[in-house]
Amino acid sequence: MITRSASPNAWNYQPADDAGIVELASWRGAGSLGLRPHFHDESQIVLVLSGSRAFRIDGATVTAPAGHAALIPAGLLHVHRC
């Protein structure tokens, strides 16, 4: 389950399901997560609840505004941007 935070900027993350297929995350607000480029063994779905989020995925920039999601396939190098 994704939890909500009282903070206007919130990153909520749920690790892969028991089958190890997908990770689910949500983003609300603006600002940086401060994460370095990385990859996951599972695919990741990021839901943007408010604000917007940009991702650099395998060398391409993908922007997801509020109400949209980004799918990051397993094994692809990516980094979150605001």
How much is the pLDDT for 1?
Answer: 42
Is pTM beyond 0.85? Reply is: no
Would 65 be classed as within a structural domain?
yes
Q: What number is the average pLDDT over the span 42-62?
A: 91
Better-predicted residue by pLDDT, 31 or 46: 46
Would 52 be classed as within a structural domain?
yes
Would 67 be classed as within a structural domain?
yes
**Which among 40, 44, 38 is positioned nearest to 71, based on CA atoms?**
44
Contacts by 9-16, CB closer than 8 A, 24 or more apart: 9/51, 16/40, 16/41, 16/42
Would 77 be classed as within a structural domain?
yes
CATH number at residue 39: 2.60.120.10
Would 10 be classed as within a structural domain?
no
How much is the pLDDT for 29?
Answer: 77
Instruction: Tell me how long the chain is.
Output: 82
Q: How far is CA 64 from CA 17, 27, 28, 49, in A?
A: 23, 10, 12, 10
How much is the pLDDT for 2?
Answer: 42
pLDDT in tens, 19-37: 778 888 888 877 767 788 9
